Amino acid sequence: MCNINVQGHHIEVTKSIQTAVNQKFSKLKGISPATSAALNFKQEGKIFEVHLIYHTKQSEIVVKKKNDDLYTAISQAFDVAIRKVKALKPNHRATLCAPEPEQQDAA
């Protein structure tokens, strides 16, 4: 099972930050399991920058988000990653619901 590596640049990774990341990460893993994942964040003035890297068997997803609230930036980064993972998955419903071709009788 893959865990996410969380690192803060000159910012301590508190239990509440780790909990917020783990909650979002579990949603993302439920859609497409990761082979590796990392979340790095830093503060530039009053703005937090979050950098999320998520590797699956099929692809690598990289998301960068900036916000004046760290938790909002983390949430936004994971929301974008979830949308990107969902976009990569094929839409099986379209093939399941497609009408079957009509057969012609041989006369």
Closest by alpha carbon to 60, among 31, 34, 28, 90? 34
Entry field: residues in the chain:
107
Count CB neighbours of 77 within 10 A.
25
Q: Model's pTM, two decimal places?
A: 0.78
The predicted-structure confidence for 17-54, as pLDDT tens digits, reads as follows 999 999 999 999 988 888 899 999 999 999 999 999 99
**Distance between CA 17 and CA 33 in Å, rounded?**
22
